[in-house]
Amino acid sequence: MKVIPASFQILEELDHQSLAVRIEACGRLCYKSEDKITEASAEPFIQGIVKHGHNSVMEMAALTLRVEIDSESLATQFLSVIPKYVQFDRLEKKVLLITGTIRAFRELARDYGKVKVIKGIAGHLAELYPLFFSDLAPKRGWLPQDGVVVTRLPLAEVEALSADLLAKHRYVAVRFITNRAVTHELVRHRPCSFLQESQRYCRYADDKFGNEITFIKPMFFAEGSSEYKLWEKAMLETEKIYLKLLGTSSPQAARTVLPNSCKTEIIVFANLLEWLHIFRLRTPKNAEPSMREVMIPLAKAFQGRYPAVFADVTFAAE
């Protein structure tokens, strides 16, 4: 049995990696198979994700596009089919700013590939990122569209946007190491993307997990107190039962005895506007204490990075 504190990490380094590397790094968290990452592993990993339709993994990378059109009617046409999880703004009457995840753009191309603006976007992305879009291309491929010019905005240009646009178009991923009670609340947030360590597939009796279960230290009980000792006793007994069940059962069967205190890892990916909403709900005094334990320092870190967006977030006495 191992006990560790809750923690978080803003995955800033992934913002500077290729889309494939980024998605593999996030996707392997589910199975805790990060040890399988090599210089050549991203492409076959993505191919497997696409083949098996594991669409949630494709939500872990976002693109911001500047789309110039020669007719306002094209913008109206685009707006008539725009899905919920794509951010859209007009920089000028004939200049659109569109941000979405790889999954969002794939589904736009799949479902509305005949709409001229979307056809132009799909053609641009299929040319730049065939690994993600070539399987969706029609037999003749997506041809360049007259009157539609698509450019991907570098991250530096996204971060130079005005505060209102930055909040909508800048996406940030955070990896939490916390207990299952906290993640049960986290996954209720919309619109976010989530990938979580899977107790169904992770076998904690394996060497890679130290042949033991890891629990998150409960903030409710002082270490050494009678309450903490009761909690510790319950976790030790749970570990013993779980490991015994693995002798005759699969991890997905044995996990049914695991409690909320189990350590889990989850990546939450959202734009700054949604993070602002999360902080407003999860940092006040009436929020769940274990949630506040990670959300207050995380919100302060976001304030330091994006003061124009998070300046008005305040914190009750900690």
Check whether residue 11 and residue 37 sit in a common domain: no
Which pLDDT tens digit goes with each residue over 201-253?
Answer: 999 999 999 999 999 999 999 999 999 999 999 999 999 999 999 999 999 99
Residues 162, 122 share a domain:
yes
Nearest 5 degrees, angle CA 240-CA 232-CA 236? 5
Average pLDDT in the 35-44 region? 96
315 in a structural domain? no
According to DSSP H, which parts of the chain are helical?
A: 19-27, 42-52, 72-79, 102-112, 116-128, 130-133, 155-159, 163-169, 180-186, 226-245, 251-254, 272-282, 289-305, 307-310
Q: Are residues 285 and 304 in the same domain?
A: yes
Which residue has tokens 């409960």?
218
Both 23 and 155 in a single domain?
yes
Q: Do 45 and 111 sit in the same domain of this protein?
A: yes
Pair 35, 146 in one domain: yes
Task: Give residue-wise pLDDT tens across range 51-81.
Answer: 999 999 999 999 999 999 998 889 888 888 8
- Residues 113, 66: Cα–Cα separation, whole Å: 18
Evaluate whether 34 touches 168 at the Cβ level (below 8 Å).
Answer: no
Q: Give the chain's domain count.
A: 2
Whether 43 is covered by a domain: the verdict is yes
Where residue 161 sits, what CATH number does that domain have?
Answer: 3.30.1360.170
Do 295 and 205 sit in the same domain of this protein? yes
| pLDDT tens readout for residues 278-293 | 999 999 999 999 999 9
Q: Among the three residues 144, 169, 194, which one is the final residue of a domain in this structure?
A: 169
In a shared domain, residues 275 and 140: no
pLDDT, tens only, 4-22: 999 999 999 999 999 999 9
Which among 125, 143, 169 is the end of a domain? 169
Taking the C-alpha atoms of residue 300 and residue 308, their distance in angstroms, rounded to an integer, is: 13
Is residue 132 in some structural domain?
A: yes
The region of weakest confidence among 2-6, 39-43, 81-85, 162-166 is: 81-85
Is 51 part of any domain? yes
Using CA atoms, how far apart are residues 59 and 41, in angstroms rounded to an integer?
A: 19
Q: Please report whether residue 318 resides in a domain.
A: no
Range of the domain at 140: 17-169
Residue 296 covered by a domain:
yes
| Domain endpoint, select from 121, 148, 169 | 169
Q: Are residues 9 and 93 in the same domain?
A: no
Relative to beta strand 7-10, strand 171-179 is antiparallel
